[in-house]
Amino acid sequence: MPELPEVETVRRGLQPVMEGARILKVETRRPDLRFPFPENFAKRLSGRRILALGRRAKYLTASIEGGPLLICHLGMSGSFRIEDGEERSIPGDFHHERSRDAAHDHVVFHLAGQHGGKTRVVFNDPRRFGFMLFADDAGEHPMLSGLGVEPTGNALDGGLLAGLFAGKQAPLKAALLDQRLIAGLGNIYASEALWRAGLSPRRTAGTIASASGGPTARAERLATAIRSVVAAAIAAGGSTLRDYAQADGSLGYFQHSFSVYDREGEPCRKPDCNGLIRRIVQSGRSTFYCPVCQR
DNA sequence: ACATAGACCTGTTGGC
DNA sequence: TGCCAACAGGTCTATG
């Protein structure tokens, strides 16, 4: 479920605990997630220091000193949880000690911080669509190599977007979900970006480019919408991060108010638009949009 | 190249 | 209340 903003929020939440920490031990509580764990997964990480946590699209990465680049994907239901690593043996603390749904805790990283404090970072994933893999020595992996442009920063502008979509017959919604073009959008933010841009999810993607493949007003609007919706969601994640940090340490999902997603039948939030949000299915997945102001 | 459907899993929700 | 179908934020594979 996590799209780029959620993954970035997870990265920022894990960063203070993981960067610079030494991995004392790694527990894998089953042989696989979506894929089998790499050979010697725990052994190749144990005893090593985590240099940096990164993110590419919806992938989290951890560079390991003298070791491999760890690539993690949260799939649809993955989350991380930070726990105090000191063994607790307080009588009556049973409830606090147990996590909310330990049934799907699949990986536990036991860490020692630079000042000796111990923590555990627990990966939980009920559906097990998530995975953990190692990149090769050059930090490359087929899952990362084909990814398109990040919708953060300023790289994605109208000109670039028009070039990416020129000639495409696929509907805009499908083009936005194509990770080879733009990397990191998912089902929610694709719908949200199209609403912000006032463009129909059913519109042929190529129609936002000019005949020469150059930018148009529509392409500029969509590029701006994508960047702004992603930036706003990351900001929202950051604000909930502070709350979660004080609660139970779980990272992965945050409440966010959406303009169209999951609002079928409700009024469009665009001022003076009297449309009602409609739900359609594209490529087997729900799309939400306003048929009045999105054309 | 492109569109669609199915696959992988478990949990939650809504209708009857 | 119980049951069951539909659906869920992802992406890889196979098929046309």
* The 3-state secondary structure of chain A, one letter per residue: CCCHHHHHHHHHHHHHHHCCCEEEEEEECCCECCCECCCCHHHHHCCCEEEEEEEECCEEEEEECCCCEEEEECCCCCEEEEEECCCCCCCCCHHHHCCCCHHHEEEEEEEECCCCCEEEEEEECCCCCCEEEECCCCCCCHHHHCCCECCCCCCCCHHHHHHHHCCCCCEHHHHHHCCCCECCCCHHHHHHHHHHHCCCCCCEHHHHCCCCCCCCHHHHHHHHHHHHHHHHHHHHHHHHHHHHHHCCCEECCCCCCCCCCCCCCCECCCCCCCCECEEEEECCEEEEECCCCCC
Query: Which residues of A are part of the catalytic machinery?
Result: 2-3, 58, 285
What is the residue-level pLDDT of chain A in tens, covering all 295 positions?
Answer: 589 999 999 999 999 999 999 999 999 999 999 999 999 999 999 999 999 999 999 999 999 999 999 999 999 999 999 998 665 444 333 333 344 568 999 999 999 998 889 999 999 999 999 999 999 888 889 999 999 999 998 999 999 999 999 999 999 999 999 999 999 999 999 999 999 999 999 999 999 999 998 899 999 999 999 999 999 999 988 777 776 666 677 776 666 789 999 999 999 999 999 999 999 999 999 999 999 999 9
Query: CA A46, C1' B15: Å apart?
Result: 51
Q: Which of the 66-125 residues on chain A come under 7 Å of nucleic strand B at their beta carbon?
A: 77, 103-104
Footprint of strand C on the protein (CB under 7 A): A 1-3, 6, 34, 57-58, 73, 75-76, 127, 129, 143, 179, 186-188, 253-254, 256, 285-286
Query: CA A282, C1' B4: Å apart?
Result: 10
**Global confidence as pTM:** 0.93
